[in-house]
Amino acid sequence: MSPACRLGCHLLLLCLCALRGRSQELELREAEDYDPFLLFGASPKRDADGEELYRRTLRCVDALSLQGQFTFTADRPQLHCAVFLIAEPGELLTVRVDRASLDCPGGDLLKVFDGWILKGEKFPSSQDHPLPTPARYMDFCTGGLSGQSVTSSQNVAMILFRVHDPGNGFTVTVRTDPNLFPCNVVSPTPSGRFTLVVPRQRRNCSFSVVYPVVIRISDLALGRVGGLHVQLPSAGCGGTGDFVELLGGTGLDPSKMTPLADLCYPFRGPAQMKIGCDSAVVRMVSSGKHVNRVTVEYRQLEPQEVEAPSGNSLGQPCVSGP
């Protein structure tokens, strides 16, 4: 499918979703069913630094990849709205509520989720995120509406809201700040290059590309660069503490994706793999004993490459587990 057609089909799906009847408790869950990835295709380029604050109105289902001030005003009851935010890999997002006129006791809501959530799947997964899931929701209704802000733990976040009364709404300012050691990242582009560095921390980091891609690991150092200690791949990576895994799947959550390969010994020079799934993840597991580093180069697959796998590729079904 051409990008234009995919976008068209996607918008049609959104319309069908909007027309479907729904009960009160399903509303938020259905907002999570929207697919953000094609929405970004319609977003304008990011603002250049130093320019005037970008301002525009928000749609109920929207995607933002730039800083600015955004206003939503309901023209009818809008009960299941979601805005996907994405910044550059080395940035964090801050969302501040400038003004809100919402009926919180009457069931309106305005929350920011630390990450993306879609069809019940989260990025980062609960295994990779520093906070327990309930703590990843910032509820502006319970904390007093205006003037509050929240900063994400990675380059993606999401605004979830529900407004019953026409005329009500809110204004938020979205800002980005540098993140010295980005850990979990969704690539804002379908092709590119990224180096993940984990500095002696016991944590797991996932780099996600939400397109079918060819991935090339061009550099991997798991604390023992130049050492002679090479582990046999046949031993597997499970017991070694620090390793990198490649995952493929259909959803957002790395913990539900299929492991495709493990890399657990320092090496130089490329390892390449075609991952014809909806999304691909390079995940680094770190014990905290070493400074770990991996460089990922990736290029979006052409549609014919996805359909006709050849060479060093996997004909695996891109299933996501339970």
Ligand X SMILES: *[C@@H]1O[C@H](CO)[C@@H](O)[C@H](O)[C@H]1NC(C)=O
Binding interface with ligand X (CB under 6 A): 127, 202-204, 285
In whole angstroms, how close is the CB of 205 to ligand X at the nearest point? 9
In whole angstroms, how close is the CB of 201 to ligand X at the nearest point? 9
When the beta carbons of 55 and 202 are compared against ligand X, the nearer one is 202
Q: Which residue is nearest to ligand X (CB)?
A: 204
In whole angstroms, how close is the CB of 144 to ligand X at the nearest point? 33
When the beta carbons of 147 and 238 are compared against ligand X, the nearer one is 238
In whole angstroms, how close is the CB of 265 to ligand X at the nearest point? 17
In whole angstroms, how close is the CB of 255 to ligand X at the nearest point? 8
Query: Phi/psi of residue 301, each to 5°?
Result: -75, 140
Sign of CA dihedral 103, 171, 210, 139: negative
Question: What's the maximum distance between 2 C-alpha atoms anywhere in the chain?
Answer: 68
Between β-strands 291-300 and 213-222, what pairing exists: parallel, antiparallel or unpaired? antiparallel
Does residue 156 contact residue 207 with C-beta atoms inside 8 Å?
no
Cα 86 from chain centre: 7
When the beta carbons of 56 and 202 are compared against ligand X, the nearer one is 202
Report the DSSP beta bridge partners of residue 285: 204, 243
When the beta carbons of 108 and 128 are compared against ligand X, the nearer one is 128
Tell me how far apart the alpha carbons of residues 145 and 104 are, in angstroms, rounded to a whole number. Answer: 10
When the beta carbons of 153 and 204 are compared against ligand X, the nearer one is 204
In whole angstroms, how close is the CB of 175 to ligand X at the nearest point? 29
When the beta carbons of 127 and 272 are compared against ligand X, the nearer one is 127
- DSSP string for residues in 275-322: E-SSEEEEEEE--SSSEEEEEEEEEEPPHHHHHS--SSB---------
Tell me how far apart the alpha carbons of residues 147 and 128 are, in angstroms, rounded to a whole number. Answer: 30
When the beta carbons of 130 and 303 are compared against ligand X, the nearer one is 130
First vs last Cα of the chain: how many Å apart? Answer: 29
In whole angstroms, how close is the CB of 264 to ligand X at the nearest point? 12
Does residue 216 contact residue 296 with C-beta atoms inside 8 Å?
yes
Sequence-distant (≥ 6) Cβ neighbours of residue 16 within 8 angstroms: none
